[in-house]
Chain A
Amino acid sequence: MNPVLSVRGLDKRFGAVVAADALTIEIAAGQKVSLIGANGAGKTTFVNMVTGYLKPDSGSIALDGMNIGEHSPRGVAQLGISRSFQIPQLFIELTAAENLMVAVSGTRTRALSLHSPADAQGRREKAIELLGRFGLADLADRPVSELAGGVRKLIDIAMALVRRPKLLLLDEPTSGVSAEEKFVTMDRVIHAVAPDAATIVFVEHDMEIVSRYADRVVAFYSGRILADGNPNDVLKDPEVRRYVTGGA
């Protein structure tokens, strides 16, 4: 069976900065993979390339065996890859529910309606349901501008779930979330995607989260993969400790 995501020989340079250096990685369906690495190691660039926002200098990216390297973020989304962002990318002046409704409209295959009200045709219901999975249903009609960072993070993730993606990429899902809330947040995310048995790849700096939720860890350094395996092994790897997690 094809791996969900298959990346081969990905290269990306920004002038003198090497963001990706012959990156090769395969991710099987249903895995929960954590990407770790210091800032600038290439994790977000990787996510940007997989989702079509950046084009690699060379290499290939395949989803379920199908080459997706040429697609734009829109094309990639329509094929089944969704992502959330390090800094939540929301529609600040709109309400939480409206943000989700925009995501719901994105799943439409026919053209958007010029007359059907935004909250009709089950869009609002779907929006509320998704907010509910993160315990945010009663904030539905609050504008995002009034909501705190942690809540915005959750909304950002909820929006990525609307399409029921095959592959969900989360860029630092618990950053900006208070310490007590981190586990609750990750629990909610895992729980929310469980019905769709999606594959999750999440970039994380918090090693507690990594060891608790990932069944595979990939460590990045200077655009290369330093280590790749189960959390215990990778986190104890001396090179990983030296270049990523710090500590003796």
Chain B
Amino acid sequence: MRRSLHPVIMIMLVVAAALFGRALPTWTLSLATVAASNALIALGIVVLARTGNVSFGQGLFFAAGGYGVALIANAWGVTDAVAQVIIGAICGGLLGLVIGPLIARYTGIFFGMLTLALSMVLYGALVKSTVLGGSDGFNVGRPTLFGMIFVDPREADFMLYAVSVVTTGLAGIAATILFRSELGLVSLAVRENNLRVEYLGTSANRIVTINFIIAAVFAGASGAFALMAQRHIDPQFAYWTTSGEFVFLAILAGYQSVAAVFVASLALELVRSFSNLYLPNTWQLVLGIFLLGVILFLPRGIGSLWIRDKHKRNDSAAETPVTAEKGAVA
């Protein structure tokens, strides 16, 4: 069996990562918060990608989560960070519940294009909506936690960092359990041959929809984090380049390892920070070159660095193809 971490160990790692934030300088805290939030939405894309469908429009749920939380926060004064994350997740999830069944039957490039189109529909509507601030968007107040208000910016940053790391960590653990589960296996089967899955009595569309909703929930929660970090929401959340960055991150990570998503996200944020700091207006240039490099040298994503293709074994028997004569026992 594959070597894998026990859930309890993973939870401990998450807690450790959260506490480690105490030792980090402020600029790393914001960076790590953004990385965690991006990893969350990219993880959702990976979950869905395991059914063979790549969503190029997660911005739809990202914005739904962000706007949903922003509106509720401003209208009802809900400032608790955990509450906001949950609301964001629910907003994303509800929208996913509505849209998922509609588009689950499309596959491949059409699925991707459809998700892209839907996210741009929301973008278009948001940009022209005067009620929601149009292309300028609007602001929200500082988040609190369990009634505590954080005046000191360092404390506020650490709180956000901790909440995002814990949330994303838990999502990662949930994803790991999902990948190993019955649904996880059948999802991979749908990716390979959805017709055979149907012939075996399982609804491929249902499988896709469930994974789609999970991705939407993650995206909505991520939107809440982005909102809390920027204290501002605008239609850019739904724009195609935003969705594109998340897909880029998911592809960079590869779909085999949850940990790879975090590593890739952190790497990306580091690159972005450094290039913004030292070479303004070049981080997209650097990203583009970085992407070309990864395509050339790591075609299976960063995860392939430490997860050997799980089916490659070292025994030499694997070299010769097995025929019925050799493999069959009389």
By a CB distance below 8 angstroms, the chain A residues around B128 are none
Q: Min CB distance, B190 to chain A, in Å?
A: 9
Residue contact A105 to B186, C-beta cutoff 8 Å: yes
Cα distance, A146 to B185, chains bound together (Å): 19
Interface string of A132-144 (1 = CB under 8 A from B): 0011111100110
CA distance A83 to B195 in the complex (A): 12
- Nearest-CB distance from B310 to chain A (Å)? 9
Query: Closest approach, in angstroms, between the C-beta of B175 and any C-beta of chain A?
Result: 10
Instruction: Assess whether B183 is in contact with A138, with CB atoms less than 8 Å apart.
Output: no
Chain A residues near B330: list those with CB within 8 A: 135
Q: Which chain B residue shows the least CB distance to A82?
A: B199
Interface residues of A (CB under 8 A from B): 51, 53, 72-74, 77-78, 82-83, 89-95, 98-99, 101-103, 105-107, 112-118, 120-121, 123, 134-139, 142-143, 145-148, 150-151, 154, 159, 162-163, 177-178, 180-181, 184-185
A159 to chain B, nearest CB (A): 7
Of B201, B202, B328, B330, chain A has the most CB atoms within 10 Å of the CB of B201
Please, could you name 13 A-B residue pairs with CB atoms under 8 Å apart, sorted by A? Answer: A74-B202, A77-B200, A77-B201, A83-B199, A89-B196, A93-B311, A102-B186, A115-B177, A118-B185, A135-B330, A146-B318, A148-B323, A154-B324
Determine if A73 and B198 form an interchain contact, defined as CB atoms under 8 angstroms apart. Answer: yes
Q: Is the interface of B mostly helix, strand, loop or mixed?
A: helix
What's the Cα separation between A154 and B329 when bound, in Å? 13
Is A178 a contact of B325 with CB atoms below 8 Å? Answer: yes
Contact B185 A148 (CB under 8 A): no
Tell me if B327 and A138 are in contact (CB < 8 A). yes
B-side interface residues, number (CB < 8 Å): 35
Task: Given A135-B329, A135-B330, A162-B200, answer yes or no on A95-B311 (Cβ-Cβ < 8 Å).
Answer: yes
CB interface residues, B 51-104, toward A, < 8 Å: none
CB contacts between A and B, total, < 8 Å = 142
B241 at the interface (CB under 8 A from A): no
> How close is B243's CB to chain A, nearest CB, in angstroms?
25
A105-B202, A106-B200 are known contacts. Are A181 and B325 too (CB-CB below 8 A)? yes
Are A73 and B323 neighbours in the complex by a CB distance under 8 Å? no
Q: How far is the CA of A90 from the CA of B329 in the complex (A)?
A: 22
Give the shortest distance, in Å, between B325 (CB) and chain A (any CB). Answer: 7
Contact present for A91 and B325 (CB under 8 Å): no
- List the A residue with the shortest CB-CB distance to B310: A143
B184 with A118: CB separation less than 8 A:
yes
Identify which of B182, B189, B324 contacts A94 (C-beta below 8 A). Answer: B189
The 8 Å CB contact of B329, one of A102, A137, A143, A163, is A137
* B188 on the A face (CB < 8 A): yes
Q: Does B156 contact A (CB under 8 A)?
A: no
Chain A nearest Cβ from B240, distance in angstroms: 30
Q: Nearest chain B CB to A176's CB is how many angstroms away? A: 10
- Cα separation A26 to B183 with both chains bound (whole Å): 39
Q: Do the beta carbons of B201 and A102 come within 8 Å of each other?
A: no
Q: Are B200 and A51 in contact (CB under 8 A)?
A: no
B325–A102 CB distance below 8 A: no
Closest B residue by C-beta to A177: B324
Contact assessment for A73 and B199 in the assembled complex, using a CB-CB cutoff below 8 Å? yes
User: Taking the nearest CB of chain B, how far is it from the CB of A80, in angstroms?
Assistant: 10
- Complex interface bits, B162-185 against A, C-beta within 8 A gives 1, otherwise 0: 000000000000000110111111
Per a CB cutoff under 8 Å, which of B178, B185, B210, B329 touches A105?
B185
A102: nearest chain-B partner, CB-CB? B189
Tell me, rounded to whole Å, the shortest Cβ–Cβ distance linking A154 to chain B. 7
Q: Give the residues in chain B near A112, CB-CB below 8 Å.
A: 181-183, 186, 202, 207
| B192 interface contact, C-beta 8 A | yes
- Most chain B CB atoms below 10 A, which of A82, A115, A123: A115
Q: Does B197 contact A (CB under 8 A)?
A: yes
**Which of chain B's residues have a CB closer than 8 A to the CB of A136?**
327-328
> Chain A nearest CB: distance from B124 CB in Å?
35
Asked whether, in the complex, the Cβ of A74 is within 8 Å of the Cβ of B198, the reply is yes
B window 13-50: CB within 8 A of A? none
Interface centre among A74, A135, A145, A185 (most CB of B within 10 A): A74
Contact A117 B181, beta carbon cutoff 8 Å: yes
If A102-B185, A143-B311, A146-B322 touch, whether A93 touches B192 (CB-CB below 8 Å) is yes
B186 in contact with A94 (CB, 8 Å): no
C-alpha spacing A36/B175, complex, angstroms: 49
B residues near A120, Cβ cutoff 8 Å:
182
Contact A148-B324, Cβ < 8 Å, known A73-B199, A106-B202, A114-B178: yes
Residue of B with least CB distance to A178? B324
